[in-house]
Amino acid sequence: MNHQLSKAVMDRTTATASYAASGATAAGGFFSLNEWALILGILFAALTFGINWWYQHRKFNMDRERHIADQHYHAARMERIRAGHIEPYTGPDEASGD
């Protein structure tokens, strides 16, 4: 029984591969080399646009989160300065030679 099952699977795989190869050959002959170049150029341009958009979107979100974190940090620092817990930064120290 195992032999019959493996033969059926093999027959189905062979038929699928045969149809796929026939379809690929037909599609290859349907377009000229210039048309294939045009199709691939359009495809790669769309992929480049999509990937670039995704990375720019991620960078924008990271920059926005960093900006919000900076605002929170500076607001908390100003509160600590107003409360007298820390001294405000006044610039380079004259004694250090900066």
What are φ and ψ of residue 85, in 5° steps? -80, -30
Token pair, residue 88, equals: 């405000």
In this prediction, residue 54 carries a pLDDT of 95
> Buried b vs exposed e over 35-56: b needs ≥16 C-beta within 10 Å?
eeeeeeeeeeeeeeeeeeeeee
The domain spans of the chain are 1-30, 32-85
In this prediction, residue 2 carries a pLDDT of 65
pLDDT in tens, 6-26: 777 787 888 888 988 888 888
pLDDT in tens, 36-89: 899 999 999 999 999 999 999 999 999 999 999 999 999 999 999 888 888 777
